[in-house]
Amino acid sequence: TVTVEARELTRIYGGREAVRDVSFTLNKGEVLGFLGPNGAGKSTSMKMLTGNLAPSKGSVKICGIDMIENPKEAKALIGYLPEQPPLYRELTVDEFLAIAARLHRVSGSHVKKAVRIAKERCGLTEMGGRLIENLSKGYQQRVGIAQAIIHNPMVVILDEPTVGLDPIQIRDIRNLIKELGGEHSVILSTHILPEVEMVCDRVQIIHKGQMVFNGSIDILKQQR
Ligand code: ADP
Ligand code: ADP
């Protein structure tokens, strides 16, 4: 099943093309690496895929639902961790995840269960009562991933989720992302090639706003 279909996504900022004609499809349960150096157009692409930025041209469909025609329905199928995670640092993990669940329209009677499952999946079961501001960066990023999966979305989109973490935290977050692949389609935006090789099934390389490679990790390795 196709969960994400991007067609000719293009974004122009002030006359300059930041992203040009990005097209791809993603299947259920796949982990796709979206690889490129800083400024290549990754965040711009992620924002268009999640409906947070209007494309200048092109379209996004999530499980067949058009993002421009039916934004509410399409967005409900996506979990998103932006590069700057929207954490409310003065809240506890439980309080924040409960709010995230409500924002994602999890019904009142299911919020507690959604929070418990998301914590379990992200290794946060013991952390529910802790203030987010008192957590390490690695645990804060787990909370960022937990809020992205709180409504059990079809598609999870993570923008540079390991930036600024130490090596142990990076390893743990990568393992966590890999595990998400079983249940969700995942798009991992990153500038780190080994991260893609470790975590992803397939990779797309974006360079100066355009896709320059799309294929399996094995083919990528052979080309090196
Ligand atoms: P990446 O996430 O790969 O680092 P971005 O998508 O953030 O790349 O940026 C792609 C290009 O678009 C860069 O040249 C960047 O300067 C430009 N850009 C990004 N956001 C804006 C904006 N809001 N206004 C103008 N230019 C932007
Ligand atoms: P019930 O069986 O009690 O109706 P659901 O299966 O509908 O409960 O789950 C309640 C909530 O828990 C869902 O709305 C969803 O947000 C969340 N949830 C369920 N399964 C998962 C999962 N695998 N990952 C993340 N959240 C989940």
Q: What is the pLDDT along the chain (224 residues), one digit of tens a residue?
A: 999 999 999 999 999 999 999 999 999 999 999 999 999 999 999 999 999 999 999 999 999 999 999 999 999 999 999 998 888 999 999 999 999 999 999 999 999 999 999 999 999 999 999 999 999 999 999 999 999 999 999 999 999 999 999 999 999 999 999 999 989 999 999 999 999 999 999 999 999 999 999 999 888 777 76
Separation of CA 206 and ligand 1 centre (Å): 13
DSSP at 165: -
Residues with CB under 6 A from ligand 2: 106, 110, 113-114, 117-118, 121, 149-152, 183
Strands 78-81 and 155-159: parallel
Separation of CA 27 and ligand 2 centre (Å): 22
Distance CA 60, CA 51 (A): 8
pLDDT of residue 223: 72
Strands 210-216 and 16-27: unpaired
Separation of CA 11 and ligand 1 centre (Å): 10
Distance CA 112, CA 182 (A): 23
Distance CA 128, CA 48 (A): 32
- In the beta sheet, which residues pair with residue 131? 92
122 contacts: CB under 8 Å, gap ≥ 6 = 142, 143, 145, 146, 149, 176
Q: Which atom of ligand 2 lies closest to the CA of 121?
A: 24
Residues counted in the chain:
224
Residue 160 C-alpha from the chain's centroid:
9
pLDDT of residue 173: 98
Distance CA 98, CA 78 (A): 17
pLDDT of residue 224: 67
Separation of CA 112 and ligand 2 centre (Å): 10
40 lines ligand 1 (CB under 6 A): yes
Question: Which residue, judged by its Cα, is nearest atom 24 of ligand 1?
Answer: 13
Q: Are 67 and 223 in contact (CB under 8 A)?
A: no
pLDDT of residue 191: 97
Ligand closest to Cα of 207 equals: 1
39 lines ligand 1 (CB under 6 A): yes
Its pTM stands at 0.91
pLDDT of residue 103: 95
